């Protein structure tokens, strides 16, 4: 009977060590992936900046000429719109 609890304790310690090793491995893999991502991002940023520096800047869009007179659409208020809806039979 004394062997069983001791065996369970040994097994628990073994499992605990395995989990600790798995955690260390996972953390190392995570850090390696993060370093690789940062290096890739830095490389792509440098390429983008070089491409933007080599390409001429796009010309600023010309401002639109202002039209005289009324605008195309009628800008009314809510009550006018509601009245129009009621006249068309869409109201209550």
- Each of the 92 residues of the chain gets a pLDDT tens digit; together they read 567 888 899 999 999 999 999 999 999 999 999 999 999 999 999 999 999 999 877 777 888 877 776 555 667 899 988 888 889 987 65
82 near 91, Cβ under 8 Å? yes
Q: Which pTM was predicted?
A: 0.47
Q: CA–CA separation, 3 vs 7, rounded Å?
A: 6
**Could you say which DSSP state residue 92 is in?**
-
What are the angstrom distances between the C-alpha of 8 and each of 4, 21, 22, 43? 6, 20, 21, 52
């Amino acid at each position: 009977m004394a062997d069983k609890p001791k065996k369970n304790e040994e097994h628990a310690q073994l499992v605990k060590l395995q989990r600790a090793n798995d955690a260390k491995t996972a953390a190392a893999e995570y850090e390696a992936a993060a370093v690789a991502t940062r290096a890739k991002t830095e490389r792509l940023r440098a390429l983008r900046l070089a491409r933007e520096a080599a390409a001429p800047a796009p010309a600023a869009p010309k401002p639109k000429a202002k039209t005289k007179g009324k605008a195309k659409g009628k800008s009314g208020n809510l009550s006018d719109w509601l009245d129009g809806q009621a006249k068309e039979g869409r109201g209550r």
